[in-house]
Amino acid sequence: MTLEANLDAGALAARGPITEGTAAECAIFDAEGSLIAGESASRTSATESDGAPFAAESTLQAAGWAARAPWRLRCVRTNTPAAALLDPLASRYRLTLILNLVVMGLALLLGSFAIQQARRRESLEARAQEEMRVRELERQLFHAERLSTVGRLAAGIAHEINNPLEGMSNYLGLAREAIARGDSAAAEKRLEGVREGLERAAGIVQQVLAHADPATTPRSRIELNPLLAQSVAFVRTRKEFEKIRLDLDLAEEPATVRGNPTTLGQLFLNLILNACEAQPRGGEVVIRSRPDGGRIVVEIADRGPGIPPEDLPRIFEPFFSTKQSTGLGLSICWSIVQSHEGVILVAPRSGGGAVFRIDFPVGGAADA
């Protein structure tokens, strides 16, 4: 596009010289970029208007002028007052937008953190409730195992209690006949037999009650051999074990330990009953005691199927069982041995079966 303009030299000259610092919205520059004429603006050279928001220029052919051709006509449209007011507003809007985005990001971050914490709290509460439920279940199972032990003991003793009761009945009948004959000496003798039967039955009942409440018996200096013999006597009263031979091989010297006779009796009874139950068709159980340095060793050996090698490391774990039981019997035995500062181990028996070995430290003086 070619723009032709006829300029009046006199009119241009009449405007007077353009001083530096004045502005021009439309200005004419010579070939060297010097300002020749223009309207009021703030430009002193052609290059200074390059950064204007709206600008246009064209080349002019000038003849008969002192200024070197070609000239350049440049028109610049500056910001209007409204546009000038919009700049700070736009800047503030951008700042507000950035701040809003930052706040929204923080809100999302905090919201995500709050949700995560809420889920974690719910998980901890659920875990705590589950642990409480498991502890309550364990307490009930331990209580049931204790009752089961007492039940097995009571079932074994029932036969032994029945014997003195039958004897007492016979003695009372004989005493009645002696009184009817006027034989007071014979009647007194028969009544003495009734008294002995009552004492025997009372002693058996006291032993059962002691097993039912071990906490009532304090620790003291006790002999293990009588406890072992007593436990064997209890098991021998069970008819289902009449095909099992129970052999006692007890040390001649006293096997003295410091402990609770009731819980130790429960320990020996559980192990002997387990050994008998492992051979329901008959067999043998050997119960030994012997000193070993500064400790007392008790061994209970059976001729059952034994314990698989892979089960040996877990045999004393709570709830671990290979015979569809609660799995607490051997765990309770382990706890009783630990409370007496002893050690319990199990190993295969030569010729078949298993051997439970328990060793205790030699006991000191009785509790005060």
CA angle 344, 347, 351 (to 5 degrees): 140
* pLDDT over 50 at 368, yes or no: no
Q: Are 201 and 165 in contact (CB under 8 A)?
A: yes
Query: Distance between CA 219 and CA 42 in Å, rounded?
Result: 110
Q: Are 256 and 222 in contact (CB under 8 A)?
A: yes
* pLDDT over 90 at 299, yes or no: yes
Which string of DSSP letters, residue by residue, matches 200-251? HHHHHHHHHHHHH-GGGS--EEEEHHHHHHHHHHHHHT-GGGTTEEEEEE--
CA angle 65, 69, 73 (to 5 degrees): 100
**Phi and psi, residue 64, nearest 5°:** 80, 20
Residues 191-223 have pLDDT tens digits of 887 887 787 677 667 656 655 555 555 677 888
Side chain identity at residue 147, one-letter code: L
Neighbours of 248 (CB within 10 A): 14
Please report where in the chains the tokens 């502005």 appear, as a residue. Answer: 23
Assigned token pair, 326: 């609660």
Given pLDDT bands bounded at 50, 70 and 90, which one contains residue 47?
A: very low
Length in residues, the chain: 368
Query: Distance between CA 303 and CA 349 in Å, rounded?
Result: 8
Please report where in the chains the tokens 């241009």 appear, as a residue. Answer: 12
pLDDT given at position 282: 86
Residues 110-157 have pLDDT tens digits of 988 899 999 999 999 999 999 888 888 877 877 776 666 666 556 555
Q: Which residues pair with 356 in a beta bridge?
A: 300, 346
Averaged pLDDT for residues 273-299: 89
Given pLDDT bands bounded at 50, 70 and 90, which one contains residue 302?
A: very high
**Phi and psi, residue 295, nearest 5°:** -135, 165
Query: Distance between CA 253 and CA 296 in Å, rounded?
Result: 11
Side chain identity at residue 117, one-letter code: Q
Query: Distance between CA 221 and CA 265 in Å, rounded?
Result: 14
Neighbours of 295 (CB within 10 A): 16
Please report where in the chains the tokens 């006779």 appear, as a residue. Answer: 261
Query: Distance between CA 342 and CA 334 in Å, rounded?
Result: 9
**Phi and psi, residue 304, nearest 5°:** -80, -165
pLDDT given at position 19: 42
CA 61 vs. chain centroid, Å, equals 95
- The whole-chain average pLDDT of the chain stands at 76
Omega before 70 within 30 of 0, i.e. cis: yes
Domains contained in the chain, CATH given:
9-78 (no CATH), 217-361 (3.30.565.10)
Helix (H) or strand (E) holding 122: helix 81-181
Residues 305-333 have pLDDT tens digits of 888 888 877 777 766 666 666 566 787 78
Nearest alpha carbon to residue 268 among 228, 237, 238:
228
Assigned token pair, 245: 């031979």
Neighbours of 103 (CB within 10 A): 10
* pLDDT over 80 at 226, yes or no: yes
* pLDDT over 90 at 298, yes or no: yes
